[in-house]
Amino acid sequence: MEKTIYSYLRHGITCIDSGYIRPNMAAIYLIEHKSDVAIIETGTNHSLSKVLAVLDKKKITHSQVRYIIPTHIHLDHAGGAGSMMKLFPNAQLIVHPRAAKHMTDPSFLVKSVVDVYGLEKFNALYGELTPILDENIIKAEDNMVIDLSGRNFHIRYTPGHAEHHICIWDEQSKGWFSGDTFGISYPEMIGLKTRHIIPTTTPTQFNPEKLLNSINLLMSYEPECIYLTHFGLLENPQDHYEILSKTITEYCEITQANIKALSPEEEINKIISEIEYTNLFKVRPNATLKEAQSLLGLDINLNTQGLCYWLNQ
């Protein structure tokens, strides 16, 4: 039987490893308050068994789940939403209005991934997407407040990574569930004194100005922590804010300087790889190049594609 990896983070919050691609890649957050539960991010259909295992361990019934909230509908964040909604009879799905139609009819999401990776890989990564009834979906307004048995969560629009991206502010923990807005920092990127973090500039809706504005919005709340989907609890976000913002600007400058190269995507990827691997080695001096490539290679490839797409629009 496959092991479910999870950790308790205080304030009734549990981080569950969704099992997407590899351990420590993508998180699902379970929030308990009084007798009610909210789930932020769903992982894929293959993640459902992990969520159910944690609910069973905690003796939480399916009827206690009130809200399911993907930060956006990229499939590592929302691929399992339909399957979850079928199992939790009292749950409502909360998404950006732009995302709602793709939850009631996920055929476009399926096609967009299948066209790139093929049906076999799609099924291996995500499984069959289940449509959700429109009546079970809350189309979130910006600054909407969600009440979980007296615990308030604020939904804020945070475009930049995707136009339909939202982040969720938890009044109790003074923390953000940031999706992809506040970047990526896997546990393997944590050193003795600091932590390496990189932005997500993936295709096809990356917009640097909007992303920087969204990051500024998050920081205006003076958060004490951020719950990264990729991956886990990030404390003292102010320590990472300036670096993250500067990296986004640097990525864009590199792209603008090399977009007319003979092989622009290859050249941009090479430069960003050198920067990020060097920065990782500063945090973890004993890491090898092979470990760095295994850890960040996929994200750097996606970031490069997004940067080239952005500049060619």
Give the pLDDT confidence of 51-67 residue by residue, as tens digits: 999 999 999 999 999 99
Between vectors from CA 235 to CA 17 and to CA 69, what angle results, nearest 5°?
45
Using an 8 Å Cβ cutoff, are 197 and 303 in contact? Answer: no
Question: In whole angstroms, what is the distance from residue 287 CA to residue 276 CA?
Answer: 13
Closest alpha carbon to 72 in 155, 10, 149: 155
Question: In whole angstroms, what is the distance from residue 286 CA to residue 281 CA?
Answer: 7
Residues of the chain with pLDDT > 70, as a percent, come to 99
Do you know the residue count of the chain?
Answer: 313
Q: Which residues pair with 28 in a beta bridge?
A: 16
Using an 8 Å Cβ cutoff, are 174 and 190 in contact? Answer: no
Which phi and psi (to 5°) does residue 206 adopt? Answer: -60, 130
Which segments in the chain show pLDDT lower than 50?
A: 1
Pairing of strands 175-179, 225-228: parallel
- Tokens, residue 5: 């990896």
pLDDT digits (tens, 9 = 90+) for 215-231: 999 999 999 999 999 99
- Please state whether the peptide bond connecting residue 153 to the residue before it is cis, i.e. omega within 30 degrees of 0: no
Element (H, E) at 109: helix 107-117
Place of tokens 């951020």: 226
Start-to-end C-alpha separation, the chain: 47
Closest alpha carbon to 183 in 59, 57, 302: 302
Ramachandran bin of 244, using left for φ above 0, alpha for ψ from -120 to 50, beta for the remaining angles: alpha
**Amino acid in the structure at residue 78:** A
Using an 8 Å Cβ cutoff, are 187 and 24 in contact? Answer: yes
Q: Where are the domains of the chain?
A: 6-244, 248-311
pLDDT at residue 2, as a whole number: 63
User: How many Cα atoms occupy the beta-carbon half-sphere of 200 within 13 Å?
Assistant: 27
The fold for domain 6-244 equals Metallo-beta-lactamase; Chain A (3.60.15)
- Tokens, residue 265: 């995507």
User: How many Cα atoms occupy the beta-carbon half-sphere of 194 within 13 Å?
Assistant: 13
Instruction: Give the predicted TM-score (pTM) of the model.
Output: 0.95
**Amino acid in the structure at residue 49:** S
